[in-house]
Amino acid sequence: MADPLAGAIRFTRAHDGVEAVTQRIGAHSTQVILVASSGEWSRVVVESPEAARALCDRLGVPGHEGWPDDLRRRMTAWRRSPEDWARAPYPERGGAGLLAP
């Protein structure tokens, strides 16, 4: 399984204007959604809100605990390419089942 920190670093380095939104999921996890200026996004799950803030600090990206309107609009406007869908980890979409780099 890929290292979530390595994936977050790769995404942040490969995209301009990355910002993060953190949200609790369940009692013991927090997700960090990284959103590039293009609207492309990636998601990482960490163990706590503190770990989410530490990840944002380590990546050097602004972190939000809610969805700023411009960030929400940017993310929802982004559309995956057919090539990206083909690599998606969703077997029902015919993907190879591997996470894209």
Which phi and psi (to 5°) does residue 91 adopt? Answer: -55, -35
Amino acid 78: pLDDT: 86
Q: Is 76 helix (H, G, I), strand (E, B) or coil?
A: helix
Architecture of domain 4-93: 2-Layer Sandwich (3.30)
pLDDT score recorded for residue 26: 86
Q: Structure pTM? A: 0.77
The pLDDT of residue 99? 43
CA dihedral 63, 5, 50, 59 (to 10 degrees): -40
Q: Which pLDDT tens digits describe the chain residue by residue (101 residues)?
A: 456 788 899 999 999 999 999 999 988 899 999 999 999 999 999 999 999 999 999 999 999 998 999 999 998 888 877 777 676 665 454 544 444 44
Q: How far is CA 37 from the centre of its chain?
A: 13
Domain boundaries, the chain: 4-93
